[in-house]
Chain A
Amino acid sequence: DTGVSQDPRHKITKRGQNVTFRCDPISEHNRLYWYRQTLGQGPEFLTYFQNEAQLEKSRLLSDRFSAERPKGSFSTLEIQRTEQGDSAMYLCASSPGQGDSNQPQHFGDGTRLSIL
C-alpha cells in the first residue's frame, strides 16, 4: 500500500494557461475525491468518483474545471484558462468500498498551484 500519489507537487503557470493534475489512489479504493484548499481554510469538496463514474460536482467547480477517472484507476483534474483565484492546494483523497459514511478518506500530498 503506497498511499495516494499526486503529481506534480508544485505547478507554477501564467494566467490563461491550462494545467492538468494527476492522482493515483490507494489500490482497490473505489472512491476518489478532489478537494481544494486555500490558506487558512479547510479543504473544500470539488468532485468525486465511484469507480469510473463521476457522481457529484460542487458548485465550486466551474466550467473551466474537468475531471476524469478512466477505467476507475487514476484520475486527472484539468483547469482551463487559469485565473488568479485558482491558486490553491489541490488535494486528492481515496476511500474503499461503497455505501456507508464510516470509511475515512486518505489524502495525497497535494498539488500546489500558483498562478502568476
Chain B
Amino acid sequence: QKEVEQNSGPLSVPEGAIASLNCTYSDRGSQSFFWYRQYSGKSPELIMSIYSNGDKEDGRFTAQLNKASQYVSLLIRDSQPSDSATYLCAVPREYGNKLVFGAGTILRVKS
C-alpha cells in the first residue's frame, strides 16, 4: 500500500460543475494535509492546507478531512477551464516534514 494514494484520472467535469478529488493516506498519525495544483510543465502550487477534521473553505475550494477514515478530499465549485491541472495530495512525514505526495489526479474542465 502506498503512503498516499490518489485516483490518477483523468477526471472530466463540465464547466460550472463541482469537481471532487480524493486522497487516502496510510499513517494514522498524520496531522497536516496539503493540496497542490500543478499545471503541465510547471511546479506545484499550494492551494489548500487542512489540519482538523471537517471542512475548510477558501473561495471556490473546500478541503474535507476525515482522520478516522484516513481520507482527505478537495472540492472545486463552479469549475473553470483554468482549473484543468493535476492536483497533488501531500502529507508531511516524520521530523523534518518531508512531503509524501500522491501521484496526482488529472482534472479536465470542459467548456
Contacts and interface: CB of A to CB of B under 8 A. Distances in A.
Interface of A is mostly: strand
B98 A56 contact: yes
Interface stretch (A63-71, A72-80, A101-109): A101-109
A91 B104 contact: no
A56 B51 contact: no
Given A44-B101, A103-B97, A104-B46, 4 more contacts: A40-B8, A43-B44, A105-B46, A107-B43
Interface residues of B, number: 25
Contacts of A48: 96, 98
Contacts of B99: 33, 35, 43, 45, 93, 105
Interface of B: 4, 8, 31-32, 34, 36, 42-46, 49, 51, 88, 90, 92, 96-104
Interface of A: 31, 33, 35, 40-45, 48, 50, 55-56, 89, 91, 93, 95, 101-110
